[in-house]
């Protein structure tokens, strides 16, 4: 595909602006070839106006019609072939196999949502007879509730999943499935991948008879583009995956609008893992190896990366083996120079905190995996030890007793996930821990690892603030659709 660097607005590639920016190749630190145009204010407004017009026809399309659209998107993404894989790998420094896997996940997600909406049962129709109103034939009038689409949605993708959490990712797919047009803010860390996937969506829309404005995409390396998008009166909801700073800034703008709108910002967390005594009694080395793999998967660049764990202070075999495993891991390349620097600064800062041990070597300036150990008391005194440093590191909090472990759990803020490793006997003894963690997270895992968020009907990828701005939702799985709907009821209408 010949890249243009232009906005995709109402079915056309346009560029009125003069400011441009380039993507970046993390492997060699060099800019990519294509110049991308910053969207002008007028272009942003045109994209939203097109979405608003499209809403009036798109919201009334059948589930079957929208399912065909989503399946056509999947087909068009696959038709991009190796070009897409190479482009995404180049822009993200993620290995080809990982990008191929992510494409599979993206395509499967589109098909899962297509199946979910096809027959219309997803609208959760509820019907009740009325006591006060009768139909002309004397029968009680009916009240029928169903979920309907909210309106045009602004979506911001994440840099760490250039396919699955980007242009055709979970936010876009669930909004389109619900009947909401999408205006996508392309991610400046992978603008070429964005253009390719955006044009695939536009092609699919044309093939399946969807209105042109059902999907538009605007580029921008500055915050201005996203800020204007979120503040446009015709935008009715926002989906976002990324940093706390970015998500919270969009939330703050959205709730201060003349008409406040919901913001679903998934902002990551440290996803604490609790290793209970029974788990560490036997298979210590295997568990340390699996945990090290989870910490370093994708160079630690997962929202569900386990950046925090809790174990007994007596579990020195485990922590020693974990240090050995992490020290032996290859040093990866991170998504952007900014992320790389933030990781390096973050670890260098954590190492200055008193009463911590760092059994892994650290030279700084790279994405070297890192382990830091501290006590519960020290962790409670230094909350930054529990805060996310995006990358392949983890902080171990060592408890002297069950009570200390529970006291640490009680003061946790909201996280996407928490994990418990233990035997069934541990579960019984630590029932309070399950109880506490249930109030803190969107997903509680037993004897697994938080990385690897499967897309299915039951998944919750969300959790209490500050993991997200709206704990009542998930950004992964089919129930993500209900972020972009609201109930309406029809009273006394003929069938």
| Minimum CB–partner distance for residue 263 and its own copies (Å) | 10
One of 303, 321, 388, 404 is an active-site residue; which one? 303
User: Considering only 144-152, 276-284, 323-331, 399-407, which stretch makes contact with its own copies by CB under 8 A?
Assistant: 144-152
Q: Which of 277, 281, 305, 276 shows the shortest CA–CA distance to 292?
A: 305
Question: Residue 230 CB: number of other CB atoms within 10 A?
Answer: 23
Residue 131 binds its own copies (CB under 8 A): yes
Residue 144 binds its own copies (CB under 8 A): yes
Q: Which of 459, 467, 475, 481 binds its own copies (CB under 8 A)?
A: 459
Q: Which of 33, 79, 82, 130 binds its own copies (CB under 8 A)?
A: 130
Within positions 34 to 73, which residues make up the interface with its own copies, using CB under 8 A?
56, 59-60
| Minimum CB–partner distance for residue 405 and its own copies (Å) | 17
Pairwise CA distance, residues 486 & 495, whole Å: 22
Pairwise CA distance, residues 341 & 354, whole Å: 23
Q: Which of 453, 452, 444, 450 shows the shortest CA–CA distance to 480?
A: 453
Residue 245 binds its own copies (CB under 8 A): no
Question: Residue 351 CB: number of other CB atoms within 10 A?
Answer: 14
Q: Which of 269, 278, 336 shows the shortest CA–CA distance to 307?
A: 269
Q: Which of 269, 251, 252, 304 shows the shortest CA–CA distance to 414?
A: 269
Nearer Cβ to its own copies (151/157): 151
Pairing of strands 441-446, 485-491: unpaired
Q: Which of 75, 207, 320, 479 binds its own copies (CB under 8 A)?
A: 479
Please give the full DSSP string across 441-489, using - where no structure is assigned. EEEEEESS-SS----SSS-----STTSBS-TT--SSSGGGGGGGEEEEE
Residue 427 binds its own copies (CB under 8 A): yes
Residue 411 binds its own copies (CB under 8 A): no
Residue 403 binds its own copies (CB under 8 A): no
Residue 137 binds its own copies (CB under 8 A): no
Residue 255 binds its own copies (CB under 8 A): yes
State the Cα angle at 490 between 487 and 495, rounded to 5°: 130
Nearer Cβ to its own copies (139/259): 259
Q: Which residue has the tokens 């529990």?
A: 386
Rounded to the nearest 10 degrees, how much is the dihedral formed by the CA atoms of 403, 409, 411, 414?
Answer: -170
Pairwise CA distance, residues 179 & 157, whole Å: 19
Residue 344 binds its own copies (CB under 8 A): no
One of 266, 321, 388, 404 is an active-site residue; which one? 266
| Minimum CB–partner distance for residue 144 and its own copies (Å) | 6
Residue 472 binds its own copies (CB under 8 A): yes
User: Considering only 42-50, 296-304, 315-323, 446-454, which stretch makes contact with its own copies by CB under 8 A?
Assistant: 446-454
Question: For this structure, is 266 an active site residue?
Answer: yes
Q: How many residues bind its own copies (CB under 8 A)?
A: 67
Nearer Cβ to its own copies (401/446): 446
Residue 430 binds its own copies (CB under 8 A): no
| Token digits of residue 251 | 């939330």
| Minimum CB–partner distance for residue 208 and its own copies (Å) | 22
Peptide bond into 268 cis (omega under 30): no
User: Considering only 125-133, 317-325, 375-383, 387-395, which stretch makes contact with its own copies by CB under 8 A?
Assistant: 125-133
Nearer Cβ to its own copies (198/442): 442
Strand partners, 216: 183
- Do residues 149 and 178 touch, judged by C-beta distance below 8 A? yes
The DSSP code for 38 is P
Nearer Cβ to its own copies (102/195): 102
Sites of contact with its own copies (CB under 8 A) = 56, 59-60, 126-133, 141-145, 148, 150-151, 251, 255, 259-260, 262, 424, 427, 435, 438-439, 441-448, 452, 454, 456-460, 462, 464-466, 469-474, 477, 479, 482, 485-494
Could you give the residue numbers annotated as active site? 266, 303
């Amino acid at each position: 595909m010949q890249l243009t660097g232009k906005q995709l607005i109402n079915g056309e590639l346009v560029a009125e602006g003069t400011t441009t920016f380039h993507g970046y190749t993390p492997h060699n630190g060099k800019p990519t070839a294509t110049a991308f145009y910053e969207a002008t204010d007028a272009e942003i407004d045109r994209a939203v106006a097109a979405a608003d017009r499209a809403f009036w026809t798109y919201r009334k399309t059948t589930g079957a019609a929208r399912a065909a659209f989503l399946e056509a998107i999947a087909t068009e993404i696959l038709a991009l072939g190796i070009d897409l894989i190479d482009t995404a790998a180049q822009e993200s420094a993620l290995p080809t196999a990982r990008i191929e896997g992510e494409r599979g996940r993206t395509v499967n997600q589109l098909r899962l949502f297509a199946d979910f909406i096809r027959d219309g049962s997803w609208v959760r129709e509820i019907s009740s007879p009325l006591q006060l109103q009768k139909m002309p034939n004397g029968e009680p009038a009916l009240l029928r509730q169903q979920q309907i689409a909210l309106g045009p949605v602004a979506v911001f993708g994440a840099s760490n999943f250039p396919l699955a959490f980007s242009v055709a990712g979970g936010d876009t797919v669930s909004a389109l499935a619900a009947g909401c047009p999408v205006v996508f803010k392309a991610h400046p860390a992978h603008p070429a991948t964005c253009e390719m996937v955006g044009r695939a969506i536009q092609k699919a829309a044309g093939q399946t008879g969807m209105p042109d404005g059902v999907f538009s995409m605007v580029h921008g390396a500055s915050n201005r583009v996203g800020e204007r998008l979120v503040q446009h009166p015709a935008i009715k909801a926002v989906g976002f995956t990324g940093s706390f700073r970015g998500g919270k800034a969009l939330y703050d703008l959205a709730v201060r609008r003349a008409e406040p709108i919901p913001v679903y910002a998934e902002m990551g967390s440290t996803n604490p893992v609790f290793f209970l005594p029974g788990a560490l009694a036997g298979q210590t080395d295997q568990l340390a190896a699996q945990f090290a793999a989870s910490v370093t998967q994708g160079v630690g660049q997962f929202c569900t990366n386990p950046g925090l764990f809790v174990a007994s202070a007596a579990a020195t075999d485990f922590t020693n083996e974990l240090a050995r495993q992490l020290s032996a891991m290859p040093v990866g390349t991170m998504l952007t120079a900014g992320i790389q620097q933030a990781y390096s600064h973050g670890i260098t800062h954590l190492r200055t905190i008193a009463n911590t041990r760092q059994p892994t070597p650290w030279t700084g300036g790279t994405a070297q995996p890192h382990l830091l150990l501290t006590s519960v008391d020290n962790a409670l005194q230094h909350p930054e030890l529990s805060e996310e440093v995006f990358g392949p590191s983890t902080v171990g909090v060592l408890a002297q007793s069950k009570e200390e472990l529970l006291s640490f759990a009680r003061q946790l803020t909201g996280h996407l996930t928490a994990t418990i490793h233990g035997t069934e006997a541990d579960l019984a003894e630590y029932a309070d821990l399950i109880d506490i963690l249930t109030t803190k997270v969107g997903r509680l895992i037993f004897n697994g690892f938080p990385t690897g968020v499967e897309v299915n009907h039951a998944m919750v990828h969300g959790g209490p603030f500050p993991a997200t701005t709206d704990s009542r939702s998930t950004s992964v799985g089919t129930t993500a659709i209900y972020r972009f709907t609201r109930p309406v009821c029809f009273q006394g209408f003929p069938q």
